[in-house]
Amino acid sequence: MLTNNTLSSTTSESEKSQVEEFNQQEVKNRLEALHQKVVIKCKQTLDQWLTEPSQVRYFIIGEFFDRIHYAKDIGDQWRTFLRKEEIRSKVWPEFQRLKEHKQIQQEWQNLLQKAISSNTLESMQFLN
């Protein structure tokens, strides 16, 4: 009897091991299949995200072009926009350098006027 009992317990352990092994393999297969589906879905979503900003940029640029190209009085609007110093220097860095040169030139003009005015006969009267 002891032998039968041991044999039957060995058989049930073997069956249990096969069931566990089957379940583990099945779980692994299902997880791998789900993983593959998730990876494919992620790739599709990322690909869609890559094309959407390009489309949005395209439409924004198209709208911008239409507005600046077909609008009436656009020249006046651009002049008003570009009069703002911070905008102008961002759009064209040369304007920043030009502004600096103008300031230096104005400073020189002011100093020259002071020198000319101090070099007059009236300003030298203090010596007499």
For the chain, domain boundaries: 23-69, 84-127
pLDDT band at residue 45 under the 50/70/90 scheme: confident
pLDDT band at residue 18 under the 50/70/90 scheme: low
Residue 35 corresponds to which tokens in the numbers above? 């993983």
For the four alpha carbons of 111, 116, 121 and 122, in that order, the dihedral sign comes to negative
Using CB atoms within 10 Å of the CB of residue 72, give its burial: 0 to 12 exposed, 13 to 18 middle, 19+ buried.
Answer: exposed
pLDDT at 4 over 70: no
What are the strands, taking DSSP E only, across the chain? Answer: none
pLDDT band at residue 13 under the 50/70/90 scheme: low
Are 5 and 11 contacting, i.e. CB atoms less than 8 angstroms apart?
Answer: no
Measured distance CA(99)–CA(85) in Å, rounded: 9
Amino acid making up residue 22 = F
pLDDT band at residue 105 under the 50/70/90 scheme: very high
Residue 77: CB atoms within 10 A of its CB come to 13
Q: What percent of the chain has pLDDT over 70?
A: 77
Residue 127 corresponds to which tokens in the numbers above? 């010596």
